[in-house]
Structure 1
Amino acid sequence: MSQSTLENVFQQWQSDEALAEQMIPLVGKLYRQNNVVATMFGRSLIKKSVIRILKDHRFVRKIEGTELSVQDTFPIVEAMAAMNLGPAHVDIGKLAVSFKHQGGGDLNAFLTRELDEIVDGYQAGASIGEPKDVVLYGFGRIGRLLARVLVEKAGGGNLLRLRAIVVRGRGDIGKDLEKRASLLRRDSVHGPFEGSISVGVEARTLTVNGNVVQVIYADSPAEVDYTVYGIHNAVVVDNTGIWRDEAGLGQHLECKGAAKALLTAPGKGDIKNIVYGINHTSIGADDRIVSAASCTTNAIVPVLKVLNDEYGVKTGHVETVHAYTNDQNLIDNYHKGDRRGRSAALNMVLTETGAAKAVAKALPELEGKLTGNAIRVPTPNVSMAILNLTLEKETDAASLNDYLRRMSIDSNFQKQIDFVDSAEVVSSDFVGNRHAGIVDAKATIANGNHAVVYMWYDNEFGYSCQVIRILQHMSNVEFLKLPRH
């Protein structure tokens, strides 16, 4: 490669960086002033760095087969920022690809046509519902990640307001609050919190990026009156796992100021187990207690759904290779569960999973067709599910992967199913992934009626994003997604 060519490549990179820098405030303006969430093939561009934006453009080539540059998308974002748009999620990547495919032309006319439902602030695409108070009952791994996501989304008309967290008393309140703030500020797996956290000892509050969050100390729901803190009609997200049936979770509904309860674990009895994107529309106005099922159930059900729709699933086995959790011991010690007393950091631990049976609660058509087991492994986060399936329709690996790739970008399951086609990815590459599960195309095996699909999932963050989606649905917070095609 000649010196002049090298210089041209570098200059192009610098030009792309400059445009990405200019794009950031425009994306922020659309978000804060118009409640427009700009995405790149389902990946949010809100509060993203220059390098992250450029990498998301490269991602399009891998899944769409089309080169997409910030040179293509910046004019679209710039034009959108000058329009009076109503609330919506707008995929500028898909708009840019569509505009290229039609051969360019009048960009403003193109955007007016593609975004006609929200042009001039037309409210058909607006979010519906009123601002909803949210309380986190418990502040462990999932609770703190939910707090991060809720605070992140607070600036764009999300309508979900994190008002309080409930924890058990720990003696010195000042020291306890500092500990809570520190755990939210720093995370060994997910990295530092992007923002500012301050502690109000006298008021017992944490102020997170301007959001004042009340810290309530109580040993049981019976001790809490949320109305004292100006909290009304709240959804209480129980992430303790202490209560999983209607009787236990019903304690939250007896608290003044609480209206509904959402469990971040599989529910027992008649509690609806919800996998967002699959059966969330089954939540009725009278459903005051629902479960977000498990991280594994959320990871596998969307893929099982689309595979069953296209190929038919006759039987199957789900093997989960799961990161260790706080339920296990760091070193050998007594544990009421089989094998879980052995050191999580030193052993692969064979244990049970209810995910295979739980699939039927979200997909009744697969009831009795799946078995399952789990192996806990010495990694702190990101798990894998292996779907070993017998299908009704024959296929091959290339066809199966192409179908799953299309489902990840052009279906109603875009937020649930991600797709990667690399021979070099490992578990740590998926820390922070917001999808319920990620199909590993290079590992797919398919021959005739037999298929094996490997799926990664961030069992903490990806699951937390699914919980937030259920919260939005329970609170009637819905956004139009554009472009339609």
Structure 2
Amino acid sequence: MTVNDDSFTNWKHREEIAESMIPLIGKLHRERDVTVLLHSRSLVNKSVVSLLKTHRFVRQIAGEELSVTETLPFLQALTTLDLGPSQIDIGRLAEEYRADDRGLSIEEFTAQAVAGATGENKIECREGRDVVLYGFGRIGRLVARLLIEKAGSGNGLRLRAIVVRGGGDQDIVKRASLLRRDSIHGQFQGTITVDEANSTIVANGNEIKVIYANDPSEVDYTAYGIKDAILIDNTGKWRDREGLSQHLRPGVDKVVLTAPGKGDVPNIVHGVNHDSLKPDERIISCASCTTNAIVPPLKAMDDEYGVLRGHVETVHSFTNDQNLLDNYHKADRRGRSAPLNMVITETGAASAVSKALPDLKAHITGSSIRVPVPDVSIAILNLQLARETTREEVLDHLREVSLTSPLRRQIDFISTPDAVSSDFIGSRHASIVDAGATKVEGDNAILYLWYDNEFGYSCQVIRVVQHVSGVEYPTYPAPAV
């Protein structure tokens, strides 16, 4: 047998192991509302190759590859436990077991590591929470995909309705088609059918009512059996408390805005300040995609080094707010052709930092350049620190933050030397630290932060909605504080 034969035999063996993992992961998700993760990446509904690629990707952040032969025993151990709703990271379990010197078996170690989710400690599955999407544009459709994907056991968030303005003949068919196929994010993972007579889209068994209205005051959600719902406003038409309060109609309990809020509307970046939300707060903003990209690494740097001042320059993909060809626009430069130009424009992300990080004393400035790519942006964060450090120290810190800290779902880390923007389409993190581009000299650090300004931001929106709805389940092993 040649070396190549050995490699192929090893691959086929790992394929077989990955195949055996899929039903275990699926059963835990459907029957116990347990989401199995690998270093913060969900393994639910993944293919054999996707499972193997996710394991191999670990080497980018942890320094060495993690094999399915190492994680399978932990997954098998989980299936024997009386688990309640939770998220369990088998990558973290495997790594912490390596470092454990107590001589425990994998079964004993796993039982101790997830004890908070078992037996008398476990939380019970909660009744599903209704969700309504007001608007169905780019962010609305991606949020819909995520809600449908996360329906799982049926005990979490339930997308009940979409509210849009009527668009003429076959409106619902066209909207379903836009949900089914996406030029950037690919095909919808599942099946979609349309019931025009009942104005309903059925996606992976989820019945979603399409409600036509020109104004929030026209809708009584209780007429559709919707109650205590969280409404996600994707239009950006209203951004202050007065305007968003129009959504607080019969059947709607809370309103979440997918744009920066104005006035006293709290701007929430999940992972940073979501715990500051008061239970009785009914109107919430998820800030902007760029704010979500820069605030978590800014907090990570301030916690470790202190930040005296900073500037963020975002190189941002063009959006529907711009024109395809030169035409009138209320903004100074956004009327110029988006796919043909780099366009200097403003960003409110820097000023929004103070709302998400009120304890940060540093003054942060910002500007933005829109560029001719349809998705994925990069924020260049230039910081003056309170003490001198080295590039190696900063990278070690950020790598550790991405692996074990409470910000590990927000911050990803990559050391690939030839990474480009399209590599990050579909990233579920708020931002990805590019290790190769990072520059540190004395008390000055420059971080290059990639972010999928559509999908990564949509994931942050979902995390906020899960938190306010009470279906954000704890993660095990618990992150390092």
TM over 0.5: same fold?
yes
SS in 2 for 1:98: helix
The answer to whether the Cα contact below 8 Å between 2:350 and 2:365 also exists between their aligned partners in 1 is yes
The answer to whether the Cα contact below 8 Å between 2:84 and 2:124 also exists between their aligned partners in 1 is no
Residue 38 (structure 2) aligned to one of 15, 32, 40: 40
- Structure 1 unmatched ranges of 5 or more: none
**Corresponding position of 1:297:** 291
**Corresponding position of 1:196:** 191
Matches within 5 A, 1:377-392: 377-392=371-386
Distance 2:172 2:13 in 1: 46
Distance 2:171 2:124 in 1: 38
* TM-score normalised by length of structure 1: 0.96
SS in 2 for 1:413: coil
Give the length in aligned residue pairs. Answer: 478
**Corresponding position of 1:219:** 214
**Corresponding position of 2:345:** 351
The alpha-carbon deviation at position 277 of structure 1 amounts to 0.8
The alpha-carbon deviation at position 53 of structure 1 amounts to 0.9
The alpha-carbon deviation at position 447 of structure 1 amounts to 0.5
The answer to whether the Cα contact below 8 Å between 1:125 and 1:479 also exists between their aligned partners in 2 is no
Q: Deviations over 1:367-419 (max 9, x none)?
A: 56111000000000000000011111101111111100000011000100000
**Corresponding position of 1:165:** 162
SS in 2 for 1:365: coil
Matches within 5 A, 1:30-429: 30-102=28-100, 106-119=105-118, 122=119, 124-126=121-123, 130-157=127-154, 159-172=156-169, 175-253=170-248, 255-366=249-360, 369-429=363-423
Q: Deviations over 1:97-140 (max 9, x none)?
A: 23333477622222222222233xx2534267542110000000
The alpha-carbon deviation at position 284 of structure 1 amounts to 1.0
In 2 relative to 1, CA 411–421 (structure 1 residues): closer, same or farther, beyond 3 Å? same
Q: Deviations over 1:36-92 (max 9, x none)?
A: 111111111001111111111112223223442111111221232233322211111
Distance 1:128 1:431 in 2: 33
Runs of 4+ in 1 over 3 A off after TM superposition: 100-105, 127-130
The answer to whether the Cα contact below 8 Å between 1:42 and 1:91 also exists between their aligned partners in 2 is yes
SS in 2 for 1:376: strand
* TM-score normalised by length of structure 2: 0.97
The answer to whether the Cα contact below 8 Å between 1:276 and 1:466 also exists between their aligned partners in 2 is yes
Distance 1:102 1:405 in 2: 21
The answer to whether the Cα contact below 8 Å between 1:252 and 1:258 also exists between their aligned partners in 2 is yes
Distance 1:373 1:128 in 2: 45
SS in 1 for 2:186: coil
**Corresponding position of 2:10:** 12
Query: Aligned partner of 1:171: which letter?
Result: G
Distance 1:158 1:72 in 2: 31
Distance 1:114 1:269 in 2: 43
The alpha-carbon deviation at position 158 of structure 1 amounts to 5.1
The alpha-carbon deviation at position 483 of structure 1 amounts to 1.5
Distance 2:294 2:111 in 1: 38
- Structure 2 unmatched ranges of 5 or more: none
The answer to whether the Cα contact below 8 Å between 1:272 and 1:291 also exists between their aligned partners in 2 is yes
The alpha-carbon deviation at position 201 of structure 1 amounts to 0.8
Distance 2:155 2:400 in 1: 28
Query: Aligned partner of 2:387: which letter?
Result: K
SS in 2 for 1:390: strand
The answer to whether the Cα contact below 8 Å between 1:86 and 1:123 also exists between their aligned partners in 2 is no
SS in 1 for 2:400: helix
Q: Deviations over 1:168-189 (max 9, x none)?
A: 01222xx111101100000000
In 2 relative to 1, CA 134–316 (structure 1 residues): closer, same or farther, beyond 3 Å? same
1:29 aligns with 2:38: no
Query: Aligned partner of 1:417: which letter?
Result: I
SS in 2 for 1:63: helix
Distance 1:109 1:282 in 2: 36
Query: Aligned partner of 1:454: which letter?
Result: Y
In 2 relative to 1, CA 37–123 (structure 1 residues): closer, same or farther, beyond 3 Å? farther
Which stretch has the larger CA shift, 72-81 or 421-430? 72-81
Residue 434 (structure 1) aligned to one of 428, 431, 446: 428
SS in 1 for 2:387: strand
In 2 relative to 1, CA 335–450 (structure 1 residues): closer, same or farther, beyond 3 Å? same
The answer to whether the Cα contact below 8 Å between 1:444 and 1:452 also exists between their aligned partners in 2 is yes
SS in 2 for 1:260: strand
SS in 1 for 2:365: strand
Query: Aligned partner of 1:372: which letter?
Result: G
Distance 1:477 1:127 in 2: 11
Q: Deviations over 1:268-292 (max 9, x none)?
A: 1111111111111121122111100
Query: Aligned partner of 1:183: which letter?
Result: L
SS in 2 for 1:48: coil
In 2 relative to 1, CA 102–284 (structure 1 residues): closer, same or farther, beyond 3 Å? closer
Distance 1:4 1:14 in 2: 15
